[in-house]
Structure 1
Amino acid sequence: MKRLTSILLSLLIVGSSVLGGCKNKNTSEGKTPESSAATSSVAAPTDKEADIVVIGGGGAGMTAALQASQNGAKNVVIVEKMPQTGGNTVYATGGLNASETSVQKKLNVKDSNQSFIDETIAGGKKLNNPELVKTMVEGSAAAVDWINQIGGDLSELGRSGGMSVDRLHRPKGGAAVGPMIVKTLNENIEKENIPVLLNTTAKEIVLNDKNAIAGVKVADASGEYTIKCKAVVLAAGGFGANSDMVVKYAPNLKGFGTTNHKGATGDGIILAEKANAALVDMEKIQTHPTVEPSTSVMYTEGVRGDGGILVNKEGKRFINELETRDVVSAAILEQPEAISFLIFDQAVREKLSAIEKYINLKIIEEAETPEELAKKIGVDPAAFAETMKAYSQAAASGVDKDFGRKEMKSKLDKPKYYAGKCAPAIHHTMGGVKINTVCEVLKADNAAIPGFFAAGEVTGGVHGGNRIGGNAMADIIVFGRIAANSACKYVEANGGYTEPSIVLEEAETPAVPEVKGNFKDGEYTGKGKGNNGDIEVKVTVKDSSIVSIQVTKHSETPGIYENAEKNVINSIIKKQALKVDTVAGATNSSKGIMEAVNNALNQK
């Protein structure tokens, strides 16, 4: 029987697996939140032990934990402060940049590691740590193979801004890469029985009298305790959602929106600094150029890479759309009202399935002709039609005389035509903890802190002054695996592996009513509005109580939605109430499920 990845520490029941993998449940002595709330005192949590503690359950953290387990380290635990895994990774849409890969070879795409290195450093304004770039690039092909080997899908190629070759590896049909990566990692972490402590915050990295790693102080609903360990892999992400921290290092970004998930607050960087780690490139913060202003939804770079263009309020192009993100962002800010419109046609939509999310969110205007589309977005129809005609001719000839764009995969002449309003928003923080090529965390004098390793957006130096789209995914997988390998070597050299000591629960039983309901027996269907579109449910009532709620259709974001489904449905069944608490980070999905159940049971 599969074990649930969480120790008996918290009073809260946090929901099911992310995307069907990595089931997590925090309890205290097997009590539900209701029974625990009625208890006047709860025993203080006791300290635990592990070989490796991974701080952060995003892409880098899960990669590190999984690789460590594959290496033979079975006493590994992930500490994640949010109620679900995934972090910013689940929002990634474009792909994973890699060179000299098996996929490129199969598709007859010629590439070289040196070209990838050169373009990454050029895109980073030559401010990157060249050794870290070389390490990332030389490990990128193996990263693609590893993801595919563990059940992922990086079988298709695209191109991101700043790259001259198709090296953006993505799922078939151009689907969003992040949800696929999160799903794949979670499923494998479930198989490996790696504990994931959700709603658990790392409070302090504990060093011994030799200034080497000794443990991590954490806190959950049951209180504070220490997980004693030999090594720590810090993978807590960046600080793009911490506006105060952003402004501290880059005052010019005050007032900017963000594409980051709410947990990207820089906690790991602060922890590391208190543990004597040096920081680098903290002022280097990237804005993504194509973000829908009212919702902060980011349009994947793949839309432009597959042929989309940008026009301003005058209906005119103003930039080579495949320039690096910083260049495109700056150009948009110079346009009237500091906004632009991302334009694409039916041909682009058909080869990039990630676009369907934007359609479902109703943030895209569509029309049968350029003139009609221009009227809908409020630009001059004649000017816009002329822009579309000129671009179509340029794409047909292969020569963009206006802006020198070399890759024009679509002539943008296939109805329907689409437009999405966009403006820059804070997207990626290039600065963070200083590391070397084996992911050791370094002090100001470049000496490594024994047993301390880091990977992902929490680190600095890889991307320099600007990150190339698709390089974050390469970063988290390549360095996540390296951090795991280094941590394992350290553990092996300092006493070796121990047997798993974290107590895990067996799979929990389905929710059952805790009070008597007052509903009419039968099966009902209903529909509610979620974050990305309609959520449809089938509700079964027996002996006046709701006994089953099944979601039959939805288009919510994988990696975020599943926790809402589990917790909201369980709460409705247990309490026999149509209004229950929403799940943090998935409020709209939670409300959509409640609305669907309510509509199902209140049909006239």
Structure 2
Amino acid sequence: MELSPRHVQTEVRNDNATASGAYDEPMSVLPAGEAHFNWSIPVAVVGAGGCGLCAGLAARQAGAEVLILERDAAPIGTTGMSTGLIPGADTRMQREKGIEDSPELFAEDVLAKAKRQTDADVVLALARESARTVEWLADECGVALSLVDSFLYTGHSVKRMHGSPNRTGAELMGSLLDACTDAGADLLTDARVSHLFADADGRISGLRCVRPDGSTEDLGCEALILACCGFAGNQDMVSEYIPELRHAEFFGHPGNQGEAIQWGRELGAAIADIRSYQGHGGLAKGYGVPILWPVILEGGIQVNLEGRRFSDESLGYSEQAMEVLAQPEHVAVTVYDQRLHELMHEFNDYREAITAGAVREASTPGELAELFGLPAGALDETLAETAALTRGEASDSF
């Protein structure tokens, strides 16, 4: 299959959203005195993706009345577009499989992957909550999670990813929505939050949302949770914070407009790690579906249009995105065998890629070269070199 990571997952404009003008209105924080609250709620959550639904569910289980506001007609978010895999360190699912893990090991893996360019205390705090979160979702929220034990995810020392039966974010979102309904958390869709209201000290008193017909509603709240994801769909913010990706295509949810960051800055909050991003070196060109990275971690390789490997693919799918962008025509071909083809059927995304025609099969290297217009001789040499590496007869130049 031919892959193009020019669809970078967190970094670029969504042309449809820009053209429609849906996100043209500047987000801002208004004085509390300008509000005309129609009603009030103890806890308001902005965003009904995975984060917002979990936040609303937790607040509701603690006894609070909750309203979750979602800009779209149906909650999808970035979570719904993902595989829905959740890392947890020292979960009962791991222990049942005999896997020894700890929050400290998890935190060390994260710091190593991030080249220690993030806050170690925050990482450790999140790692310490990870197992409790996974078990809470499974045991108290009815989310059918199991340990993904068929492969070791990139950057992790042990198997600690947990997923739903079909390994899809949409399935995870469905379970979370059911849990919110059962718990009595209210969800308001087609409600785009455009402004917050705050007093002179920065204390939030409510918000304003815009409905599809252009009408607005002011809603008071005692506590506000912003679960708006990142700024992938906001070209101006991408150009400001990650200029090297300003020309990359956007593959993600168009609602990721960076509102929480903009509101936070207006309220005087600091920002950190703002230049971080996640790319993907395995998005099938022309199909909009990801070929997930286990195919690489378990032995697949990528070659460019010259039939040559060009990097250490195992470093991760985000790192590989920029490597592929540097290749001729910004594409690569992922090559793997029948064993990996069968392993990947665990993932619904892969099954959808097959249905879409993104996966092509060949019986010989020559047929494969012909399918993708690769130099047959160069591809033969690359495959022979790779086979020698797997036998321990040579050292990888990357």
Question: CA-to-partner distance for each residue in 1:504-556, whole Å, 9 max, x for gaps?
Answer: xxxxxxxxxxxxxxxxxxxxxxxxxxxxxxxxxxxxxxxxxxxxxxxxxxxxx
CA distance in 1, matches of 2:164, 2:37: 44
Mark the structure with the bigger radius of gyration: 1
Query: How far did residue 267 of structure 1 move?
Result: 2.2
Q: Which runs of 4+ in 1 moved over 6 A?
A: none
CA distance in 1, matches of 2:296, 2:275: 28
Q: Secondary structure at the match of 1:286?
A: coil
**Preserved contact between residue 83 and residue 167 of structure 2 (Cα < 8 Å):** yes
Query: How far did residue 245 of structure 1 move?
Result: 1.7
Match of 1:267 in 2: 259
Q: Secondary structure at the match of 1:367?
A: coil
Match of 1:525 in 2: none
**Preserved contact between residue 103 and residue 156 of structure 1 (Cα < 8 Å):** no
Question: CA-to-partner distance for each residue in 1:207-233, whole Å, 9 max, x for gaps?
Answer: 235432211121213621221111001
**Preserved contact between residue 259 and residue 298 of structure 1 (Cα < 8 Å):** no
**Preserved contact between residue 155 and residue 171 of structure 1 (Cα < 8 Å):** no
Residue 382 (structure 1) aligned to one of 370, 373, 377: 377
Structure 1: gaps spanning 5 or more residues: 1-44, 405-604
User: Is residue 164 of structure 1 aligned with residue 154 of structure 2?
Assistant: no
User: Is residue 217 of structure 1 aligned with residue 175 of structure 2?
Assistant: no
CA distance in 1, matches of 2:96, 2:385: 35
User: Is residue 319 of structure 1 aligned with residue 302 of structure 2?
Assistant: no
Match of 1:50 in 2: 41
Structure 1 or 2: more helix by fraction: 2
CA distance in 2, matches of 1:305, 1:182: 27
Question: CA-to-partner distance for each residue in 1:237-270, whole Å, 9 max, x for gaps?
Answer: 1111222221122222122012211111212322
Q: Secondary structure at the match of 1:290?
A: coil
User: Is residue 66 of structure 1 aligned with residue 57 of structure 2?
Assistant: yes
Match of 2:395 in 1: 401
Match of 2:367 in 1: 372
Residue 144 (structure 2) aligned to one of 148, 152, 161: 152
Seen in structure 2, the aligned counterparts of structure 1 residues 375 and 321 have a Cα distance that, compared at 3 Å, is: same
**Preserved contact between residue 152 and residue 180 of structure 1 (Cα < 8 Å):** no
Residue 191 (structure 1) aligned to one of 160, 169, 182: 182
Query: How far did residue 363 of structure 1 move?
Result: 1.9
Seen in structure 2, the aligned counterparts of structure 1 residues 303 and 143 have a Cα distance that, compared at 3 Å, is: farther
Query: How far did residue 198 of structure 1 move?
Result: 0.9
User: Is residue 178 of structure 1 aligned with residue 172 of structure 2?
Assistant: no
Residue 391 (structure 1) aligned to one of 380, 383, 386: 386
Query: How far did residue 317 of structure 1 move?
Result: 2.2
Query: How far did residue 69 of structure 1 move?
Result: 1.0
**Preserved contact between residue 148 and residue 160 of structure 2 (Cα < 8 Å):** no
Match of 1:489 in 2: none
Query: How far did residue 321 of structure 1 move?
Result: 1.8
| Identity across matched positions, percent | 27
Structure 2: gaps spanning 5 or more residues: 1-35
Query: How far did residue 111 of structure 1 move?
Result: 2.9
Q: Secondary structure at the match of 2:224?
A: strand
Seen in structure 2, the aligned counterparts of structure 1 residues 399 and 286 have a Cα distance that, compared at 3 Å, is: farther
The amino acid across from 1:342 in the alignment is T
Alignment size in residue pairs: 356
**Preserved contact between residue 99 and residue 112 of structure 1 (Cα < 8 Å):** yes
Query: How far did residue 400 of structure 1 move?
Result: 7.1
Match of 1:282 in 2: 274
Query: How far did residue 83 of structure 1 move?
Result: 1.4
Query: How far did residue 303 of structure 1 move?
Result: 2.5
Match of 2:293 in 1: 301
Q: Could you state the TM-score of these two structures normalised by the residue count of structure 2?
A: 0.82
Query: How far did residue 91 of structure 1 move?
Result: 1.2
Query: How far did residue 186 of structure 1 move?
Result: 0.9
Q: Secondary structure at the match of 2:278?
A: strand
CA distance in 2, matches of 1:171, 1:382: 43
The amino acid across from 1:133 in the alignment is V
Residue 98 (structure 2) aligned to one of 85, 95, 108: 108
The amino acid across from 1:297 in the alignment is V
User: Is residue 137 of structure 1 aligned with residue 135 of structure 2?
Assistant: no
Q: Could you state the TM-score of these two structures normalised by the residue count of structure 1?
A: 0.55
Q: Secondary structure at the match of 2:106?
A: helix
Question: CA-to-partner distance for each residue in 1:34-55, whole Å, 9 max, x for gaps?
Answer: xxxxxxxxxxx97121110000
CA distance in 2, matches of 1:244, 1:299: 29
**Preserved contact between residue 144 and residue 154 of structure 1 (Cα < 8 Å):** no
CA distance in 2, matches of 1:398, 1:181: 41
Question: CA-to-partner distance for each residue in 1:322-376, whole Å, 9 max, x for gaps?
Answer: 2034532332233333321122222222222321111112122222223212210
CA distance in 2, matches of 1:251, 1:210: 34
